[in-house]
Copies of this chain bind each other. A is one copy, B any other.
Amino acid sequence: MTARKIALVVTARPSYARIKTALQAIQGHADLQLQLIVTASALLDRYGSIVNYIEQDGFKIAARVFVVLEGENLLTSAKSTGLGVMELATSFDNLRPDIVVTVADRYETLATAVAASYMNIPLAHVQGGEVTGSVDEKVRHAVSKLANLHFASTDGAAERLIRMGEDPRTVFVTGCPSIDLAAGVLENPALDFDPFQKYGGVGAVNELSDGYVVVMQHPVTTQISDSRAQITETLEAVEAMDMPALWFWPNVDAGSDDISRGIRIFREKGQGNFKNMEPEDFLRLVYNSKAIIGNSSMGIRECSFLGVPAVNVGDRQAGRERGANVIDVPCEMKAIQSAVRTQLGHGRYEQASIYGDGKAGQRIADLLATAELNIAKQITY
């Protein structure tokens, strides 16, 4: 038997972190050959050139695919998706993979799924079946409808995929590979690096010794005109606290320019702000924080496993399964402030395994090597 060729498309900082252990397991699997495609913001300097970390981690890159049309508005979002379909189709035509793997719910995720579907290549989808707000919600389920194999993070997600009409024989609960990474970090959780020195920003690690919070807020693409107002509420709530805050820049998305401008205004305060970080460093930083604030799924997903208190702001994660570590608040300064205070009072939560037990990557690789491959599918009812 020749090894199955697995084309996996990495698109952005979080999607790399969330798939890294699967990449390692695929690369290490005797019956699989990894074809790693890097695209979108993962290639771009101003989003931290995650591609460099990928190579440092020992992965060989099979194709670099540029698809981000500058403009960061709704029109360029749509056009970048179209470009993604065109350009990824060329890569698939060159690489001739046996399976294409697409992760989560971004526009590149959809572009990957569309290209693979029309090229009759079996499509595997990681992180399908979850529920959130934003345009991501639509896109995630649309991708599931194009996918032939589903690697779900939670029991709830798998159940939902089956209710949506996916064939139960194609739905697998693997857990989320992001939890694998968190599990690895928990083996040695100390903050063993100076984030300012390693990643820039104004400050020093010892200023963090009395505690700090992490803030990460993405634009909500269906509420695009409010992006700046939304980040301002969060920024003001954080500013009012008497604790250092480490800001992370949003993904490239319609609306992210507004958020970036918002962050820049507060930058002079002497707190760190970061474009990017190696995933394990980021997890370690979050693990050692007093709380995570914003609307990143990390607060819900990885932090449930890490036990880090999360203040989840606004609708972006609405509907997502969550553990006890999360307090949901509307995008209002006072509400955010009050929830942060509650979380700081509570301290670390117990570990929850909703999103996985730390072995998702290996399970995904094993399934890619053994699952029956089809391109035809039909709704089950």
Contact = CB atoms under 8 A, between A and B. Distances in A.
Interface of A: 43-46, 66-72, 74-79, 81-87, 89-90, 92-94, 107, 110-111, 113-115, 117-120, 131, 133-135, 137-139, 141-146, 160, 163-165, 221-222, 224, 254, 257, 315, 318-319, 375-379, 381
Secondary structure type dominating chain A contacts: helix
B89 A118 contact: no
Given A85-B79, A165-B164, A377 B138 contact: yes
Contacts of A43: 71
A117 B138 contact: yes
B68 A69 contact: yes
Nearest to A119: B74
Given A68-B70, A82-B114, A83-B86, A378 B75 contact: no
Oligomer copy total: 4
B163 A135 contact: no
Given A69-B68, A82-B89, A378-B137, A45 B75 contact: no
A118 B379 contact: no
Contact of A44 (B70, B85, B133): B70
Top 4 nearest A-B pairs by Cβ distance? A82-B85, A82-B86, A78-B89, A78-B118
Contact of A145 (B44, B85, B138): B138
Contact of A133 (B134, B138, B376): B376
A85 B76 contact: no
Contacts of A81: 85, 114-115, 118
A114 B110 contact: yes
A374 to B, nearest CB: 9
B318 A378 contact: yes
Nearest to A224: B120
Contacts of A93: 75
A44 B46 CA distance: 14
Most B-side CB within 10 Å, residue of A46, A77, A90: A90
Contacts of A87: 82, 90
A226 to B, nearest CB: 12
B89 A79 contact: yes
